[in-house]
């Protein structure tokens, strides 16, 4: 079955530590996205990539980094520079750059301990 796989489902980070969230898709989608969701709020765009080896900052990119070395993969690193990283992180992909056929992963819940 085609879809987006995010791992891990739960992640705990110590203060000052970098962590990487995995996102893999087998939908042959060109565009991939990372969103952050805080309790009771909508989603906010962190980074997006429309093609391999290219990515752009979203609205809240500070303290995060990404790479897009393969079409199928778009990992997100939460660095120690992100002051409030506890949140629910959602990866998504779409067929083209215009958000048609948007598909979301099941999310990773990151908690700072």
Partner 1 sequence: KQEVTQIPAALSVPEGENLVLNCSFTDSAIYNLQWFRQDPGKGLTSLLLIQSSQREQTSGRLNASLDKSSGRSTLYIAASQPGDSATYLCAFNTQRSSYKLIFGSGTRLLVRP
Q: Which residues bind partner 1 (CB under 8 A)?
A: 4, 6, 31, 33, 35, 40-45, 48, 50, 56, 58-59, 88, 90, 92, 97-100, 102-107, 109
Task: Output the smallest distance, CB 78 to partner 1, in A.
Answer: 18
Most distant CA pair in the chain: distance in Å?
Answer: 38
Compute the distance between CA of residue 72 and CA of residue 58 in angstroms, rounded to an integer.
Answer: 20
Task: Output the smallest distance, CB 16 to partner 1, in A.
Answer: 27
66 contacts 74 by C-beta, under 8 angstroms:
yes
Task: Output the smallest distance, CB 44 to partner 1, in A.
Answer: 8
43 contacts 19 by C-beta, under 8 angstroms:
no
Task: Output the smallest distance, CB 93 to partner 1, in A.
Answer: 12
Residue 59 or residue 69: which is nearer to partner 1 going by CB?
59
Residue 63 or residue 107: which is nearer to partner 1 going by CB?
107
Compute the distance between CA of residue 48 and CA of residue 59 in angstroms, rounded to an integer.
Answer: 10
Compute the distance between CA of residue 16 and CA of residue 4 in angstroms, rounded to an integer.
Answer: 29
Residue 10 or residue 16: which is nearer to partner 1 going by CB?
10
Residue 6 or residue 82: which is nearer to partner 1 going by CB?
6
Distance of CA 14 to the CA centre of its chain: 20
């Amino acid at each position: 079955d085609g879809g987006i796989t995010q791992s891990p489902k739960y992640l705990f980070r110590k203060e000052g530590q970098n962590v990487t969230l995995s996102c893999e898709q087998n939908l042959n989608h060109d565009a991939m996205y990372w969103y952050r969701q805080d309790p009771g709020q909508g989603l906010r765009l962190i980074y997006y990539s429309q093609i391999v080896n290219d990515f752009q900052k979203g609205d809240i990119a500070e303290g995060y980094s990404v790479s897009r070395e393969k079409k199928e993969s778009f990992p997100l690193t939460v660095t120690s520079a992100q002051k409030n990283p506890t949140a629910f992180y959602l990866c998504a992909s779409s067929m083209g750059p215009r958000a048609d056929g948007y598909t979301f992963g099941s999310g990773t819940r990151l908690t700072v301990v």
